[in-house]
Chains A and B, each alone.
Chain A
Amino acid sequence: MNFRILKKDLKRKKSINLILLVFIFLSTMFIAGSLYNFTVILNGVDNFLTQAGIGDFLIVTMGGNEQEISENDKNIEEFLKNQKDVTSYTIDNILFLSANQLKKENNKKILLDNTMILNCFDIEQQKFFDKNNQEITHMEDATIYISQRMAAGNHLKIGDKVKVCCESGYEVELKVAGELKDALLGSDMMGTQRCVINSRDFQEVLKKGNLPFGRLYSIFCKDLNAFQIEYNNGNFNEIFGADRTLVKTTYILEMVIAAVILLVSICLIAISVLMLKFTIVFTVNEDYKEIGIMKAIGMKDSAIRRLYMVKYFVLAAIGALFGFMVSIPFSTTLLLQVTQKIVIKSGRTGILFQFVTSVLIVGIIVLFGYLSTGKIKKFSPMDAIRSGNNGERFQKKGIFHLKNSHVRPTTFLAYNDVLCEIKKYFILFLTSVIGVWLVIMPVNTINTLKSDGIAAWFGLTDCDFYIRDEEKVAELIGKGTKQEWYHYLEDTKQLFERNGIEVEKVCTEVYFKLRVRKENKSYKSFAIQGLGTSTEQYFYDEGYPPIYENEVAITHVIAEKIDAKLGDTIYITSEEQEKPYLISAIYQSMNNMGEGIRFTTQAELDYTKVSGGFGAQIILQNEKDREKLSDIIEQVKKLMPKAKIETVGEFISGMIGNISGRLDSLKLLILIVVAAINILVVMLMQKMFLIRERGEMGMLKSIGFSNGAVIRWQTKRMILVQFFGILIGIFTGAFFSEITAGQVFKIMGAKKIEFVINPLEIYVIYPAVLFLVTILACMLTMQKVRNVSIQEMNNME
C-alpha cells in the first residue's frame, strides 16, 4: 500500500519531486567534491614538500669544482658536521646554465628569466615528479626533464630536442622527456629554474662542459631557529639559503588559488545546505492537503510520517548516487587549477571520501525530512481544506499600499511580495551576495597586481620600462666595483641618446644578501642599493627616507625578525666588517617575501659580494614618447638584442610568477561557476514558485493580467532580490577581498593593502553579467506561465 502511494506521489508531483531530486544531486556533487578538495588543499603544499623530501633548511652555493670544492663549501660542510642541531644533511653537485647555453633544435636561444640549475634526477636532496604526479625513478640517456616555465615560455613539448652548448665547445643534445614538478624550485616565484638529467649524462656534462659548479645542501634540524642563528653568524656565502617555510611561501600563488577554491567550496556547501532545507520545507508544505486528508481518513501520524520518510529516502538515495558520480570529475576539475605545480595525493581514498560524504548527505536529508515532517502532528484535517492555513494564522502582510504607489502594479506586487516574505527570498539574496564576492575577489587581486602602483609594493621606483640583461649583470658582478655599475648606466644612456631616445634617467638596483643584527637577533636579509636613484623616490610607511651613509630603511618583515623599530641602531655586515646603521624608515615590499634593507647611494658596500641585479630602469624624458612606449620598447629590443625589455607589469610578473595570467583563467572559471549556480538557484526557485503560485497566476489572468504581465511580476521579484544581493555584494566585496586576498598579500610582505578597484569591471561589467544571466534564466523559466490556466486559481491558498 505504502509503495503504491509512494509511486503515485512520485508520479503525480513530478515537478516538485524532480526539483528536490535536482537539488539533492547538486548538493551532493558540491558538498562531496568541495569537502574532499578542502581536505586535500588545506595541507597540499606541506604534503608536497614532505612527499618530495625537502629539508628544513636549504643552501645553494656556487664555486669550486668536483675535484676541488671551494673554501666556502668546505667551511659549510665543516660547520654542518659540528652542529648539534643538525640531525642529518645531504650534499649534491649541481651545475649552472645561463640562457645562452641552452638552445632549441633549430639553434634558437631558449628564453630564461634567470639562471638554470642542472642536476641528476636521483639526487639525495629531493624527489622529482612528472606532470602526471608520478615520481621520476628512471631516465633514459640523452633525455631531460625541463621546468614548467621553460616548457611554457619556449613552447617545448615531449620529444623536442634541447641543446646544451658550453663555452668549452662541448655540446650535447637532449630529448625532452617531460615537465618537472620540482618542490624546491618549481614555483613561479623562484627566479632560478631547474632541469634534470640522468647520472651518466650529468657526469659527462660535468667533466666536459666546464660549467659553473655548485653544491646543494639539504639540512634536517632538531631546532631550526637555533641552527639559523648559528648559520647566520657563520658568514658563509651562498646564492640561496632558506628554510622550508620560505620555500612553502613561494607557493603563494598555489595558496591563493587554493584559498579561492576553498572559499568557493565553502560557499557552495552553504548554498547547498540552505537550498536543501528550503526545498524540503517547501515539499512538505506542498503536502499539507494530502497529510490533512490522510489524517481525516484515520491514518496515524507515525504511519504518515513513515510514508514521507520513505519518499525522502528514495529521492535522497537516487540524487546522492548521481551527485556522487559527478562529484569525482567536478572535484578533479577544480583541483587541476591548484595541481599544476604541486603533487596532490589522490586515488581511491578520494573516491571513498566522496562516497562516505554522499552517504552522510542521504542521512542528513532523511533527518531534515524527519524534522520537517514533525509538523504532521500539528496538521488537522482542516489543513487539507485550507492548505495549511486556517485563516487565523495569517499575519498583517503589507507594509506599502498599492493605492499610494506610483509604480506599475507588477512592480508593486514584486516588491510587496519580497517585503512580505523576506525569508522565502533570503537564499536567493545570499546566493547573489556570495556570488558577487567570489567574482570581485579575484578581479580586485588581479587589477591590484596589474596596476602601476604595484611597483611601490615591490620597493621599486616607477619607470617606463626595464632592461633585464643577465649577461651584463653577471659581467658587472664579476668586475666587482660600484664604478662599473655607474659606467653601465652611463653607457646605456648614451646609447639611447645616440639613437634618438631622450632619457631622463637611467637607474638600477643592486642586490646583496647581508647579515643584519640587533643585539643577539640576526638574520641574513635581502638588501638593495639604488644607483642613479634617490631614496626619496620610494614609498615608506614610517619615518623619513635614509639620507646619510649610515642610515637605512628596513621592511616590516626584517623589523619583526630582528625585533627592531624606527630609530634603532642595527648592525649590518659588509666588506667583512660589521657597521652600525640607524633605521630611518620602515617600508613594505612584496619582493623576496617582504625582506629588504635599503641603503643610500653613498653607503659603502662590498661590490664583490653582489648577489644580483636586473639591468636598468629607464625613465623617458618626454611625455610624447611615453604615448608611443611600445614603439620605443621595440626599438630598444633591436638596440640590445641580448637583453629582455619589459614593462613594469611584465617585470613584476617575472618576479612573482604569472599570477595575473593564472588568476585570469581562474577568474573566468569562477564567473562561470557562480553564474551557473545563480542560474540554477533562480531556475529551481522559480520552478517552485511556478508550482506554488499557480493559483495566484490563474487569478491574475482572470482579472485581465496578460501572460507578459504575470512574467513581469515574477521576473521583477527576482530582479529586485538579485539587484539588492548584487548591490550588497558590491559594497561588501572590498571587505571580503581584504579578508581573503588581503591576507595572502600580507603573507607576501605587504602590510598595508589598498586594492585597485576598476569601477567599470567591479561595479558594472561583472555584476551586470551575473544579473543579466540570472534574469534571463528567470524569464526563460517563467515562459511556463503560459501553460497556467485560469481555472488553476482554485488551487489558491
Chain B
Amino acid sequence: MEAALCVKDLCKTYITNKRQNNVLKNINFTIERGEMVAVMGPSGSGKSTLLYNVSGMDCPTAGEVLLAGKKITDLKEKELAEVRLTSMGFIFQQMHMLKNLSIMDNILLPAYQVGKKEHTRQEINEFCLSLMRKLGISEIAENDIAEVSGGQLQRACICRSLINRPEILFADEPTGALNRSTSEDVMQELNKLNREGTTIMLVTHDMKVAAKCSRILYIVDGNIKGELHLGIIGESQLETSQREKIDKASEVKFRERKLNNWLIEMGW
C-alpha cells in the first residue's frame, strides 16, 4: 500500500531583494496511512512553508511530493485545485470563512463544488450534519460566522476540511488561535478522526498538541533534524504491565515528558 505522503528532496527558495533565502533544504520524509505527524521547530525554521509545499498550497522550488502515490509537484493549477478539493483537507490557524454564508453553508461549499457527483446534495447535507454533530457544533449550523466562538469556528473549519472525505488532513497551528480548553477539544476531535483512519500532518508550537501525535518531526533551518515516534495515543509502546498501571491522563503526561526530553535534546 502506498504511503499517504512521500516527500523527496524538497527545496523551497524565496528570492527577496535579489537575495536568495533557502527555506527548505532537501527535505525527505514519508507519512504512512493512518499516521498523525506533528512538525515542530523554532520560529522561522520552515515548518509552515513545509506544510504549504507538501499540501500543494504552494509550489516547491525543487523535489517531489507524492500524495497517495500521485506526484502533485507536476500537476497543473487546475489539477492541483482538484486534489485540494477532493484528496486533502486543510485547517488553518486563522479561521477563514466567507462572511456572507452561514456556518453550514461554509462547510458545504467544497462538497457542492466537486464536479463529479458521487453523492446527492441530500446525502451531502446529511453527512455535513453528521460531521457537525460529531464535532458538537450542529446547533450553530444556521448561524453566521460572527455569531459563534473561535472554538466553534475552528471545529467548523475542521468539518469543512473533512466534508469531501479526504485521505489526508493538513493543519497549520490548528489550536494557535484558541484557548487551552478549546484546544484540548479540537485535539480530541483530531485524534478521534485519526483513529477512524484519517492521516493527519500538523504544524504546532504546542508541546501538548504534539504529544497527542504518533510521530514528531523536528525541523531547524529548513532541515529535518530528528524525529520521535510516540505511537498512537492510547496504544503507546509501553509494557502491558506498565499500561495496566497507568490511566489515560498519565499516558498523556508520559508522552509529554518524553517529548519534552527529546525536544531539549534537539535544542528546543
Q: Spell out A's residues near B (CB within 8 Å).
A: 391-392, 394, 396-398, 401-403, 406, 408-410, 412-413, 416-417, 420-421, 695-696, 699-709, 786, 789-791, 793-794, 796-797
Contacts and interface: CB of A to CB of B under 8 A. Distances in A.
A695 B84 CA distance: 17
A417 B100 contact: yes
Interface stretch (B36-44, B107-115, B205-213, B224-232): B107-115
Contacts of A398: 100-102, 105, 144
B133 interface: no
Given A394-B146, A398-B101, A702-B57, A707 B85 contact: no
A392 B144 CA distance: 11
A791 B81 contact: no
Interface stretch (B91-99, B238-246, B254-262): B91-99
B160 A416 contact: no
Given A706-B81, A707-B78, A793-B92, 8 more contacts: A394-B147, A410-B113, A413-B109, A701-B84, A702-B92, A705-B81, A705-B113, A790-B57
B156 interface: no
B86 to A, nearest CB: 7
A702 B171 CA distance: 12
B96 A793 contact: yes
Contacts of A797: 99
Contact of B104 (A403, A412, A417, A699): A403
A365 B45 CA distance: 48
A701 B81 contact: yes
A518 to B, nearest CB: 70
Contacts of A702: 57, 84, 90, 92, 96
Contacts of B160: 703
A708 B125 CA distance: 25
B250 to A, nearest CB: 39
B185 interface: no
B113 A416 contact: no
Contacts of B105: 398, 401-403
Residue among A391, A394, A397, A696 with max Cβ neighbours from chain B (10 Å):
A397
Contacts of B83: 704
Interface in B132-146: 142, 144-146
Contacts of A793: 92, 94, 96
A409 to B, nearest CB: 4
Contacts of B85: 703-705
A797 B84 CA distance: 23
Contacts of B57: 702, 790-791
Given A394-B144, A789-B58, A790-B52, A703 B84 contact: yes
A434 to B, nearest CB: 27
B82 interface: yes
Nearest to B106: A402
20 contacts: A397-B144, A402-B104, A403-B104, A408-B112, A409-B109, A417-B100, A695-B96, A699-B96, A699-B98, A702-B92, A702-B96, A703-B85, A703-B113, A704-B85, A704-B164, A705-B81, A706-B77, A706-B81, A708-B78, A789-B58
A700 B113 CA distance: 10
Contacts of B113: 408-410, 703-705, 709
Given A391-B146, A394-B144, A396-B144, A402 B109 contact: yes
A84 B95 CA distance: 91
Nearest to A407: B112
Contacts of A394: 99, 144-147
Nearest 7 interchain pairs by C-beta:
A704-B85, A394-B146, A706-B81, A402-B105, A704-B84, A420-B100, A699-B96
Contacts of A408: 112-113
A396 B105 CA distance: 14
Contacts of A786: 77
Nearest to A693: B98
B125 A403 contact: yes
Contact of B78 (A401, A420, A706): A706
B94 A704 contact: no
Contacts of B104: 401-403
B100 A704 contact: no
Contact of B110 (A410, A696, A704, A794): A704
Contacts of A417: 100
Nearest to A706: B81
A709 B263 CA distance: 44
